[in-house]
Structure 1
Amino acid sequence: MEPFLPGLNLRPRLLAAGVTDKELRRLRREGALATVRPGAYLYRSDDRSTDAAARHLLAVHAAAAQLSAGAVVSHVSAAVVHGLPLWFLPPTQPRSTGCTPRAIGGPALGSAL
Protein backbone atom coordinates (compact mmCIF):
# COMPACT_ATOMS: atom_id res chain seq x y z
CA MET A 1 0.00 0.00 0.00
CA GLU A 2 1.31 3.44 -0.94
CA PRO A 3 1.29 5.41 2.34
CA PHE A 4 0.90 8.80 0.62
CA LEU A 5 -2.46 9.40 -1.01
CA PRO A 6 -3.43 12.25 -3.34
CA GLY A 7 -4.66 15.19 -1.29
CA LEU A 8 -4.40 15.59 2.46
CA ASN A 9 -2.17 13.13 4.33
CA LEU A 10 -2.54 13.10 8.11
CA ARG A 11 0.36 12.02 10.32
CA PRO A 12 -1.53 9.35 12.35
CA ARG A 13 -2.53 7.50 9.17
CA LEU A 14 0.98 7.82 7.72
CA LEU A 15 2.56 6.46 10.92
CA ALA A 16 0.09 3.55 10.90
CA ALA A 17 1.12 2.86 7.29
CA GLY A 18 4.79 2.62 8.33
CA VAL A 19 6.09 6.11 7.48
CA THR A 20 8.44 7.42 10.18
CA ASP A 21 8.80 10.95 11.50
CA LYS A 22 12.35 10.90 10.13
CA GLU A 23 10.99 10.19 6.63
CA LEU A 24 8.40 12.98 6.99
CA ARG A 25 11.14 15.45 7.98
CA ARG A 26 13.28 14.36 5.03
CA LEU A 27 10.41 14.70 2.53
CA ARG A 28 9.56 18.17 3.87
CA ARG A 29 13.22 19.24 3.80
CA GLU A 30 13.59 17.98 0.19
CA GLY A 31 10.46 19.89 -0.82
CA ALA A 32 8.39 16.84 -1.75
CA LEU A 33 5.80 17.56 0.95
CA ALA A 34 4.18 20.83 1.99
CA THR A 35 2.96 21.19 5.56
CA VAL A 36 -0.67 22.31 5.58
CA ARG A 37 -0.74 22.47 9.39
CA PRO A 38 1.15 20.45 12.00
CA GLY A 39 0.59 16.78 11.22
CA ALA A 40 -1.09 17.39 7.85
CA TYR A 41 0.83 17.15 4.59
CA LEU A 42 0.24 17.62 0.89
CA TYR A 43 2.41 16.69 -2.07
CA ARG A 44 4.19 19.89 -3.18
CA SER A 45 3.19 19.09 -6.78
CA ASP A 46 -0.53 19.36 -5.83
CA ASP A 47 -1.88 22.67 -7.20
CA ARG A 48 -3.56 23.33 -3.85
CA SER A 49 -0.17 23.67 -2.17
CA THR A 50 0.24 27.19 -3.60
CA ASP A 51 -3.38 28.43 -3.52
CA ALA A 52 -4.15 30.18 -0.19
CA ALA A 53 -7.88 29.42 -0.11
CA ALA A 54 -7.35 25.77 -1.11
CA ARG A 55 -4.63 25.34 1.53
CA HIS A 56 -6.93 26.92 4.11
CA LEU A 57 -9.71 24.49 3.18
CA LEU A 58 -7.29 21.58 3.59
CA ALA A 59 -6.22 22.97 6.99
CA VAL A 60 -9.89 23.18 8.03
CA HIS A 61 -10.41 19.54 7.05
CA ALA A 62 -7.29 18.54 8.98
CA ALA A 63 -8.43 20.46 12.07
CA ALA A 64 -12.02 19.24 11.90
CA ALA A 65 -11.11 15.87 13.38
CA GLN A 66 -9.91 17.67 16.51
CA LEU A 67 -13.10 19.65 17.08
CA SER A 68 -15.26 18.77 20.05
CA ALA A 69 -18.96 18.02 19.75
CA GLY A 70 -20.94 21.23 19.29
CA ALA A 71 -18.10 23.13 17.64
CA VAL A 72 -18.50 24.45 14.13
CA VAL A 73 -16.19 25.94 11.53
CA SER A 74 -16.68 29.70 11.57
CA HIS A 75 -15.48 33.07 10.35
CA VAL A 76 -13.32 33.11 7.23
CA SER A 77 -12.97 29.32 7.52
CA ALA A 78 -16.73 28.88 7.07
CA ALA A 79 -16.67 31.20 4.06
CA VAL A 80 -13.91 29.08 2.47
CA VAL A 81 -15.79 25.83 3.20
CA HIS A 82 -18.92 27.24 1.55
CA GLY A 83 -17.00 28.64 -1.43
CA LEU A 84 -17.93 32.25 -0.63
CA PRO A 85 -15.81 35.13 -1.95
CA LEU A 86 -13.20 36.37 0.50
CA TRP A 87 -12.88 39.89 -0.86
CA PHE A 88 -9.48 40.99 0.31
CA LEU A 89 -9.25 38.84 3.43
CA PRO A 90 -6.53 36.26 3.07
CA PRO A 91 -7.39 33.12 5.05
CA THR A 92 -5.16 32.61 8.06
CA GLN A 93 -5.45 29.73 10.48
CA PRO A 94 -8.71 27.75 10.68
CA ARG A 95 -11.36 29.16 13.00
CA SER A 96 -14.11 27.41 14.96
CA THR A 97 -16.78 28.42 17.41
CA GLY A 98 -17.87 26.37 20.40
CA CYS A 99 -21.39 26.44 21.73
CA THR A 100 -20.39 25.97 25.36
CA PRO A 101 -20.06 29.31 27.21
CA ARG A 102 -16.64 29.96 28.66
CA ALA A 103 -18.29 30.87 31.98
CA ILE A 104 -19.03 27.19 32.65
CA GLY A 105 -15.60 25.97 31.63
CA GLY A 106 -16.10 25.62 27.89
CA PRO A 107 -13.81 26.89 25.16
CA ALA A 108 -13.63 30.54 24.28
CA LEU A 109 -15.92 31.41 21.42
CA GLY A 110 -14.20 32.07 18.13
CA SER A 111 -11.06 30.17 18.94
CA ALA A 112 -8.31 29.33 16.49
CA LEU A 113 -7.68 25.65 15.76
Structure 2
Amino acid sequence: MALSQPSEVPDSVRGAVRSHSNVVRNNNVIPFPLSRVLLPVTLLRQSEDEARAQLKSLLHSPLGVYVVSTEVVRDGVRVLFSIAPEDLDFTLHTLIASVPHALIGSLARTGSSKEAH
Protein backbone atom coordinates (compact mmCIF):
# COMPACT_ATOMS: atom_id res chain seq x y z
CA MET A 1 0.00 0.00 0.00
CA ALA A 2 1.53 3.30 -1.10
CA LEU A 3 1.32 6.32 1.10
CA SER A 4 -0.09 9.38 -0.52
CA GLN A 5 2.18 12.41 -0.72
CA PRO A 6 0.79 15.89 -0.30
CA SER A 7 0.72 17.61 -3.67
CA GLU A 8 1.00 21.07 -2.18
CA VAL A 9 4.45 22.65 -1.73
CA PRO A 10 4.84 24.79 1.40
CA ASP A 11 5.36 28.52 0.84
CA SER A 12 8.78 28.47 2.53
CA VAL A 13 10.08 25.87 0.04
CA ARG A 14 8.47 27.65 -2.91
CA GLY A 15 10.20 30.92 -1.89
CA ALA A 16 13.58 29.22 -1.61
CA VAL A 17 13.22 27.62 -5.03
CA ARG A 18 12.14 30.95 -6.55
CA SER A 19 15.14 32.79 -5.05
CA HIS A 20 17.58 30.21 -6.48
CA SER A 21 15.99 30.38 -9.93
CA ASN A 22 16.54 34.17 -10.03
CA VAL A 23 20.32 33.79 -9.73
CA VAL A 24 22.03 35.02 -12.88
CA ARG A 25 24.47 32.46 -14.18
CA ASN A 26 27.34 34.00 -16.11
CA ASN A 27 28.92 31.34 -18.31
CA ASN A 28 31.44 33.63 -19.97
CA VAL A 29 33.71 33.88 -16.90
CA ILE A 30 37.02 32.08 -17.33
CA PRO A 31 38.76 31.25 -14.04
CA PHE A 32 42.48 31.90 -14.03
CA PRO A 33 44.65 29.14 -12.61
CA LEU A 34 46.55 29.93 -9.47
CA SER A 35 50.10 30.79 -10.36
CA ARG A 36 52.99 29.45 -8.33
CA VAL A 37 56.71 29.99 -8.45
CA LEU A 38 59.33 27.31 -7.96
CA LEU A 39 62.33 28.24 -5.85
CA PRO A 40 65.30 25.85 -5.78
CA VAL A 41 67.48 26.06 -2.67
CA THR A 42 70.63 24.06 -1.92
CA LEU A 43 71.41 23.45 1.74
CA LEU A 44 75.20 23.35 1.99
CA ARG A 45 76.69 20.76 4.29
CA GLN A 46 79.96 19.77 5.88
CA SER A 47 78.76 16.28 6.78
CA GLU A 48 75.79 14.01 6.16
CA ASP A 49 74.57 14.49 9.75
CA GLU A 50 74.63 18.27 9.30
CA ALA A 51 72.61 17.97 6.09
CA ARG A 52 70.02 15.79 7.80
CA ALA A 53 69.74 18.24 10.70
CA GLN A 54 69.30 21.22 8.33
CA LEU A 55 66.64 19.40 6.31
CA LYS A 56 64.78 18.24 9.42
CA SER A 57 64.82 21.77 10.81
CA LEU A 58 63.56 23.18 7.51
CA LEU A 59 60.75 20.64 7.12
CA HIS A 60 59.52 21.29 10.68
CA SER A 61 59.61 25.08 10.20
CA PRO A 62 56.77 27.14 8.70
CA LEU A 63 58.52 26.72 5.34
CA GLY A 64 57.94 22.96 5.37
CA VAL A 65 54.51 23.37 3.78
CA TYR A 66 56.11 24.81 0.62
CA VAL A 67 58.58 21.93 0.05
CA VAL A 68 57.66 19.81 -2.98
CA SER A 69 60.85 17.77 -3.38
CA THR A 70 64.27 17.10 -1.90
CA GLU A 71 67.34 15.60 -3.50
CA VAL A 72 70.77 14.77 -2.14
CA VAL A 73 73.46 16.30 -4.34
CA ARG A 74 77.24 16.33 -4.08
CA ASP A 75 77.55 19.58 -2.13
CA GLY A 76 74.36 19.37 -0.06
CA VAL A 77 70.65 18.83 -0.25
CA ARG A 78 68.59 20.48 -2.97
CA VAL A 79 65.11 21.51 -1.83
CA LEU A 80 62.42 22.71 -4.24
CA PHE A 81 59.76 25.08 -2.90
CA SER A 82 56.42 25.79 -4.59
CA ILE A 83 55.30 29.21 -3.41
CA ALA A 84 52.39 31.52 -4.11
CA PRO A 85 53.80 34.86 -5.32
CA GLU A 86 52.26 36.70 -2.37
CA ASP A 87 54.18 34.41 0.04
CA LEU A 88 57.57 34.97 -1.59
CA ASP A 89 58.66 37.79 0.73
CA PHE A 90 57.85 35.76 3.85
CA THR A 91 59.55 32.68 2.42
CA LEU A 92 62.79 34.44 1.53
CA HIS A 93 63.07 36.26 4.86
CA THR A 94 62.36 33.08 6.84
CA LEU A 95 64.74 31.05 4.69
CA ILE A 96 67.60 33.53 5.12
CA ALA A 97 67.01 33.70 8.88
CA SER A 98 66.76 29.93 9.39
CA VAL A 99 69.37 28.64 6.92
CA PRO A 100 71.90 31.45 6.30
CA HIS A 101 74.37 29.22 4.40
CA ALA A 102 71.95 28.04 1.72
CA LEU A 103 72.29 28.79 -1.97
CA ILE A 104 69.06 30.28 -3.31
CA GLY A 105 68.43 29.63 -7.01
CA SER A 106 66.39 31.58 -9.51
CA LEU A 107 62.59 31.61 -9.57
CA ALA A 108 60.65 29.74 -12.24
CA ARG A 109 56.98 30.47 -12.82
CA THR A 110 54.53 27.57 -13.03
CA GLY A 111 50.90 27.47 -14.00
CA SER A 112 49.01 27.53 -17.26
CA SER A 113 50.96 27.23 -20.49
CA LYS A 114 48.42 29.58 -22.11
CA GLU A 115 49.23 32.61 -19.97
CA ALA A 116 48.33 36.01 -21.34
CA HIS A 117 51.24 38.16 -22.46
More strand by share: 2
Structure number with the bigger relative contact order (C-alpha 8 A, sep ≥ 6) is: 2
TM-score (norm 1): 0.30
The alignment's TM-score, normalised by the length of structure 2, stands at 0.29
